[in-house]
Amino acid sequence: MSKKILVVDDDVDVLETRKIVLEHNNFDVVTATNIKVAEEILKTDSIALIILDVMMEKDSDGFNFAQYVKGDERFKSIPIILATAVNQRTKFKFDLEKDGNFLPVEKFMEKPIDPDDLIATIRGLLK
């Protein structure tokens, strides 16, 4: 049985592209275009990993969702990859070593993400 990955992004093209890449690499994929849908999926599906955008309906949606996941005993062990262009769009420079409390995620990947790098990162986190 393959691992199920939740991809959360408000850009439908990004969702579809990621879904194709992940399914081609034998992962099951569920997608959400907003945080509310993502929360419902978490409650009903067995999710192995989350790929999460930051800026959606609100610029802080991804950060808030990551904090929700890591703050809930049921979900806190699920690895999160923060996949975003926030550094490019805001000129902020987030760094997991310095901002780990604010960014409770296992990996920060700057968009655009090379599909091979994404798959390697996922496999590393799911070992």
- Domain map (residue ranges) of the chain: 4-125
Do the beta carbons of residue 7 and residue 15 sit within 8 Å? yes
pTM: 0.89
Nearest CA among 59, 57, 55, 75 for reference residue 67: 75
What is the full per-residue pLDDT of the chain (127 aa) written as tens digits? 579 999 999 999 999 999 999 999 999 999 999 999 999 999 999 999 999 998 888 888 998 999 999 999 999 999 999 997 755 555 555 555 655 455 789 998 988 999 999 999 999 999 9
Note the pLDDT of residue 57.
86
Nearest CA among 111, 108, 118 for reference residue 81: 108
Count other C-beta atoms under 10 Å from residue 14's C-beta: 19
Note the pLDDT of residue 52.
96
Give exposure, 85-106, as e/b (b: 16+ Cβ within 10 Å). Answer: ebeeeeeeebeeeeeeeebbbb
Top CATH class of 4-125 equals alpha beta
